């Protein structure tokens, strides 16, 4: 198969964010198996000659550069806060309006927040370096921006359709339980014990009025050691009621067997009509079948942090996401790629560019609904 150009649309990703009315069949010959739909990329064994050469020549050069740049870097969760708020603080067109994230940032990283608010040369250079080709990841900041807005939209739609429970998996500094709180809706935030305790202290400091910002049920659990069902047991979660499950920035850090376990667990807990919303990594990028320079830099950076990408979903086989949904008793409501998200959330405010990409093109987005 010809190598796709960096920034090209993923063939299996449907245009737009609209709900689909039909589910096409996956192609035959076993391509509907979970192993074919979710993979670790084969360790680069499937990479094109162009990608092999790129990785052989540039990765050894990038590793020390990125390691030096990230020596005093903030945590992954804090990095997401910075990118979520960057365009708002800089007065640039943005998709998300997460005001609580701004408060979290001011308390966790006051100096960084001040640099951004002051719109200093330092802050501008940091932002430009972050998205610079080769040493940065073009479109990574706007990826976080549109992903935040997309999940907000997906959550709001699910609640509007009758979901009364929201389960936020690997919550980190997610703020949706506070921004979308409403009578009759219960939220559950699941995270590792340490981050969960840190989050509770942060919320109490940043949002002291629990009446104005009702607290979710905090669940401190390591999902690599206990099942999602076991983690939710005794929390008040009712699997017979319609729910919405969110997994933001999670799937691609799990090995395929853990992705399967997560999908199985969500399916077992999801009442009919419940939704599962997640972003995912394109297998063509992880495997190296398509050269995506931004992905190569990002993969090197996260690997340097000890948080490598471990899995991706098939973005080349028509109907692959539909087949994945069916394996676990869901239907695929919508899928979207980078260009779709930019058009949906930015319109003419932020022009689309392929090179460098406006929104990082190695990620896609999906909403599944339990049937």
CB of 89 closer than 8 Å to CB of 120: no
pLDDT of 68 reads 78
DSSP 44-76: GTT--HHHHHHHHHHHHHHHHHHHHHTTTPPPH
pLDDT at 216 over 70: yes
pLDDT of 251 reads 97
Question: For 27, which DSSP code?
Answer: P
Residues 52-74 have a mean pLDDT of 85
H-helix or E-strand spanning residue 247: strand 243-247
**pLDDT band for position 192 (50/70/90)?**
very high
H-helix or E-strand spanning residue 335: strand 330-336
Domains of the chain: 34-370 (3.40.50.150)
Residues 231-248 have a mean pLDDT of 98
Q: How far apart are CA 48 and CA 227, in angstroms?
A: 38
Residues 52-59 have a mean pLDDT of 92
pLDDT at 23 over 60: no
Q: Per-residue pLDDT tens for 79-114?
A: 999 999 999 998 899 999 999 999 999 999 998 898
Q: Per-residue pLDDT tens for 135-145?
A: 889 999 999 99
Q: How far apart are CA 166 and CA 159, in angstroms?
A: 9
Q: pTM for this structure?
A: 0.90
pLDDT of 17 reads 52
pLDDT at 7 over 80: no
pLDDT at 12 over 50: no
């Amino acid at each position: 198969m010809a190598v796709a150009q960096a920034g090209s649309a993923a063939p299996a990703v449907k245009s737009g964010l609209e709900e689909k009315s039909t589910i096409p069949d996956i192609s035959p010959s076993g391509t509907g198996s979970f192993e074919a739909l979710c993979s670790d990329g084969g360790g680069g064994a499937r990479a094109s000659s162009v990608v092999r050469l790129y990785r052989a020549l540039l990765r050894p050069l990038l590793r020390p550069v990125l390691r030096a740049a990230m020596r005093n870097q903030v945590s992954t969760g804090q990095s997401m806060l910075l990118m979520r708020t960057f365009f708002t603080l800089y007065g640039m067109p943005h998709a998300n309006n997460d005001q609580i994230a701004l408060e979290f940032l001011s308390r966790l990283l006051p100096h960084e927040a001040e640099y951004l608010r002051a719109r200093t040369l330092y802050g501008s250079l940091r932002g430009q370096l972050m998205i610079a080709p080769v040493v940065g990841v073009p479109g990574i900041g706007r990826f976080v921006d549109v992903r935040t807005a997309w999940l907000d939209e997906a959550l709001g739609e699910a609640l509007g359709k009758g979901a009364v429970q929201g389960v936020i998996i690997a919550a980190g500094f997610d703020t949706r339980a506070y921004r979308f709180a409403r009578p009759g809706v219960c939220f559950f935030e699941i995270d590792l014990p340490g981050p969960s305790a840190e989050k509770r202290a942060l919320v109490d400091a940043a949002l002291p009025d629990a009446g104005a910002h009702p607290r979710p049920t905090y669940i401190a659990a390591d999902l690599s050691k206990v099942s999602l069902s076991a983690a939710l047991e005794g929390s008040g979660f009712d699997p017979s009621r319609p729910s919405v499950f969110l997994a933001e920035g999670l799937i691609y850090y799990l090995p395929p067997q853990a992705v399967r376990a997560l999908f199985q667990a969500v399916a077992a807990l999801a009442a009919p009509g419940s939704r599962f919303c997640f972003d995912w990594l394109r297998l063509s990028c992880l495997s190296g079948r398509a050269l995506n320079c931004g992905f190569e830099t990002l993969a090197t950076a996260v690997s340097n942090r000890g948080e490598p990408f471990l899995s991706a979903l098939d973005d080349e086989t028509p109907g692959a996401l539909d087949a994945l949904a069916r394996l676990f008793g869901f239907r695929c409501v919508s899928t979207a790629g980078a260009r779709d998200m930019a058009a949906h959330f930015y319109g003419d405010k932020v022009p689309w560019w392929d090179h460098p990409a406006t929104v990082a093109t190695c990620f896609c987005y999906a909403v599944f609904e339990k049937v």
